Structure 1
């Protein structure tokens, strides 16, 4: 929380115009939450939108990349009190590499990042709209253990149910990589992730992959972190359809299995 407040302060002090509104970079359990926290502390409004329409591991996977909007200026604050204001990086991969290197140098602790200050008229065409209110509705249904209703509301479907029997993960180059094996009546499901789940294999055959979102919840509707699958407890694996922006063209090129090395 203090990291994101400090990062925003660095950005605002160096950027010549006042920042009046905030938008999450993704629908991520952490990044969306800290955006709302930041807005509350600064008494600023949050747009009912995000830049991705789901969670994503890299800077590439934002609507701004598809819209050729430069990723800088950007501000970073580290757990060691270091401040960075970054300008004139137009390549998304290079900026992503800079962020990941800072994470590695901070012993894989979180860093605070604030970037993409630009006029709302320029930003709006590349945002995924009404995603926060949808997330709140889905979350409310999950809290009530109405799992089928929640998944249906988000336009998704259940693809597997079973019990995790094995999980391995590691942090490398600023990303969390891992694989989990889930046993069910239909066979064995393997999930592979790079921060987010990249693909699901049922008995060796890919049945779901990015850009669609693959997620999991417990029988009580509690979301499961990718590194914390409950071993030998029943889980539900589901998919949600991706936003249209990731299904073709420039968006598809950076949100497909080939891009992630498969």
Structure 2
């Protein structure tokens, strides 16, 4: 989204950004309630955050994204400390011998869109309106900056016990594997600062306008919630989010397990309304990866598969999915970077063990006559 002036992020903006980011989290990215509380507390204590576009960065700017790594359900128990990102950013500055000019989210999600706002507030630095996914993905190497040749390291990490360090690895996949092992050892959650980059890398390979998009989607969902008497509410939601309707149903079973610092699971639904008599399933690894209806695949990663409340259209993260919950399953087109050969190799269905070629969600919808 181009053309907005430099502006501030306060409590009102955080509420909308968190709501929209939860939708783009595609079932993962952490609990928006937890993330929102962390960001709001930081802004109330330290003041609003300045949001800038990549083109507003000085050419010599050094940008340090930050995030939470691990199973999103763990953060519900552990939370985040106010000094977490000061510790990380100090480590990065000491290692790199560079001053951090700004931070940014690495993905969209209820937690990982919020933590960089908190970090920016506490550090007194700007937040860049860009990320590396345009959604959420489960592994560290799954960012557009990997396609651009950027390194995930030096990666600084810390946990709530005070363990901290900096790693330098030979590839982004090695960084994922080693950092994931550390995450397992310390209890399933790690705060990280990674993919430190130049202004040029940020401009050329980032998914631009993601914070603004989250705010726009949050406002759209909130406006729909305020006008539920409208009989075309579902159509309004799809139009405002550029979404494709996949299925409407009631959750009848949820299979979950935490393995290797990931949340794995499958949601089984029975159709309601126009989908009565049909069945659907959604498989996930932190984020939703495939939606099937009556055994036919209707959407896969890298497109977004999102569950929203049938009545309020509020996003439903996977840790909040429960038996009896009535939801609408919506498909959203992914960022164009993921539809390249390199992008599909990195985050396409076959990487996740799904035996199908990637077909854009809008094409699958046309096949179904949507």
Name the TM tier (shorter chain).
over 0.9
The 5 A counterparts of 1:116-131 are 116-131=195-210
Match of 2:294 in 1: 203
**In structure 2, how many angstroms separate the alpha carbons of the residues matched to 1:236 and 1:167?**
16
1:158, distance to aligned residue in structure 2 (A): 1.9
The 5 A counterparts of 1:211-230 are 211-218=302-309, 219-230=311-322
For the residue of structure 1 that corresponds to 2:320, the secondary structure is coil
For the residue of structure 1 that corresponds to 2:137, the secondary structure is coil
For the residue of structure 2 that corresponds to 1:254, the secondary structure is helix
Of 153, 156, 168, which aligns to 2:255?
168
TM-score where L is the length of structure 1:
0.94
TM-score where L is the length of structure 2:
0.67
Seen in structure 2, the aligned counterparts of structure 1 residues 230 and 147 have a Cα distance that, compared at 3 Å, is farther
Of 137, 140, 144, which aligns to 2:219?
140
For the residue of structure 2 that corresponds to 1:71, the secondary structure is coil
Q: Deviations over 1:91-148 (max 9, x none)?
A: 111100112111211222x211001222101321110111111110111121232664
**In structure 2, how many angstroms separate the alpha carbons of the residues matched to 1:61 and 1:232?**
33
Instruction: Check the 8 A contact 2:141/2:152 in 1, yes or no.
Output: no
Match of 2:185 in 1: 105
**In structure 1, how many angstroms separate the alpha carbons of the residues matched to 2:320 and 2:279?**
18
Of 67, 75, 96, which aligns to 1:15?
96
The 5 A counterparts of 1:187-198 are 187-198=278-289
For the residue of structure 1 that corresponds to 2:331, the secondary structure is strand
**In structure 1, how many angstroms separate the alpha carbons of the residues matched to 2:245 and 2:214?**
18
The 5 A counterparts of 1:1-262 are 1-2=80-81, 3-87=84-168, 89-108=169-188, 110-144=189-223, 145=225, 148-185=235-272, 186=275, 187-218=278-309, 219-262=311-354
**In structure 2, how many angstroms separate the alpha carbons of the residues matched to 1:32 and 1:5?**
18
**In structure 2, how many angstroms separate the alpha carbons of the residues matched to 1:202 and 1:254?**
25
Instruction: Check the 8 A contact 2:247/2:329 in 1, yes or no.
Output: yes
For the residue of structure 1 that corresponds to 2:174, the secondary structure is helix
Seen in structure 2, the aligned counterparts of structure 1 residues 217 and 10 have a Cα distance that, compared at 3 Å, is same
Instruction: Check the 8 A contact 1:8/1:113 in 2, yes or no.
Output: no
More helix by share: 2
**In structure 1, how many angstroms separate the alpha carbons of the residues matched to 2:90 and 2:127?**
17
Instruction: Check the 8 A contact 2:289/2:300 in 1, yes or no.
Output: yes
Structure 2 gap ranges (5+): 1-79, 226-232, 355-370
Q: Deviations over 1:147-204 (max 9, x none)?
A: 6434423321221111101101111111110001011143111000001001001011
Structure 1 gap ranges (5+): none
Structure of greater Rg? 2
For the residue of structure 2 that corresponds to 1:111, the secondary structure is strand
